[in-house]
Amino acid sequence: MSDAAGPADVAARLTGLVVSDARRMTGALTEVALDGGQSVVVKRGDGPGEVRAEAAGLRWLADAGTVRVPRVYGDDSRWLVTDRVPQGRPTTEAALGFGRELAALHASGAPAFGAPPPGGPVAAYIGLAPMRNEPGTDWPRWYAEHRVLPYLRDALDAGTVTSTEAALIERVCDRLPELAGPAEPPARLHGDLWNGNVLWGADGHVWLIDPAAHGGHRETDLAMLDLFGCPHPDRVLDGYQEAAPLAEGWRERVGLHQLFPLLVHAVLFGRGYAEQALAVARAALAG
C-alpha cells in the first residue's frame, strides 16, 4: 500500500475489520476504533527495519507466555497495528506479579547474546537509535563490542564526550570479564525496559510495549528499569527475586548494565546522559 494511506486505512487492511473512528495520540501513534467496540493502535515507523524489529520483538515476547504484550494484528514496511491496552493504576499486587513474570520471560532464554527475535532484523532499533543484533557467546565481550562501544564512538564523533572521557569507558570495557559477575545464560530481554514502556493495565496486570528485544543478560533489563524509575520498584524486585534470585553482587553491577542505555541517551539527547555514564564508569573502576 502507498505511504499516502492513513492509519484508518491501514487498520482496516491489517485487521480485516471496519473502522468506526480514529484519534491521533502522538505524531506516530493513532488509536483506531473498530466496529464491535474493539480499539487498536496504529504506529508508523521511520523505516522498515524499525517496524519489523518491533513486531518480531512483540511476537517473541508473547511466545514466551510470561509477560503480557499487545497482540500484533499485522505489520508491513511502514506500519504496525496492535491491540490498545486500557490504562489502570499501578498497584503493589501488579508490581509483584510483574516481577515474577519478568523473571519467567528472562528464563525462557535466547539462542545467544545479541540474538534477534525470530524474523527480526540484525539492523534493529532501541527507541530512535539504531541497534545491531549480532550474536555472541561471551557476554562481557559481546556487551562491550555491540552495546557499549558503538554508542561511545557515536558520542565521541558528536563531541558529546572527549577522547579522555571515552578512554575511561573503554577501560571499563577492558575490565568487564572481571566485573561482570558469574556467567549467566542468554536471557530473553525486552531490551528497552524504561517506565514509558511499562503499562499498568485496567485489568490489574502490567503490559509491556515497544521492545528492543534480543538475547542478553537479565540484569540489563532490571538495570534499565531502575535507571528511569518505575512504580513500586521494591515489589517488582521482590517478585523477581522470589521467582529467580539474582546472583550475588548484582547491586554493584547495576551501573555496568546502565552504561548501554546511558550512552544511547547521550547519543540521542546530549551531554547530561554522558556525564551519568562517566560517573558510572568511574564508580566501576574505583570499586
Whether residue 231 sits in one domain with residue 175: yes
Domain at 29, CATH number: 3.30.200.20
Q: Are residues 234 and 133 in the same domain?
A: yes
Residues 106, 194, single domain; the answer is yes
Q: Which residues contact 4 (CB under 8 A, 6 or more apart)?
A: none
Which of 83, 109, 134 represents a domain boundary (last residue)? 83
CB 44 within 8 A of CB 79: yes
Q: Between helices 271-286 and 163-174, what is the axis angle to 10°?
A: 40
Residues 37 and 157 in one domain: no
Each residue's pLDDT expressed in tens, for the chain with a length of 287 residues: 444 579 999 999 999 999 999 999 888 899 999 998 889 999 998 877 899 999 999 999 999 999 999 999 999 889 999 999 999 999 999 999 999 999 999 999 999 999 999 999 999 999 889 999 999 999 999 999 999 999 999 999 999 999 999 999 999 999 999 999 999 999 999 999 999 999 999 999 999 999 999 999 999 999 999 998 999 999 999 999 999 999 999 999 999 999 999 999 999 999 999 999 999 999 999 97
Among residues 133, 143, 134, which one has the least CA distance to residue 183? 143
Residues 118, 71: Cα–Cα separation, whole Å: 16
Contacts (Cβ under 8 Å, ≥6 apart) of 125:
49, 50, 53, 54, 131, 212
- Check residue 236 and report its DSSP letter: H
Catalytic center residues? 192
Q: Is there a single domain that holds both residue 144 and residue 209? A: yes
Cell 508490581 belongs to which residue?
95
What one-character DSSP code corresponds to residue 117? P
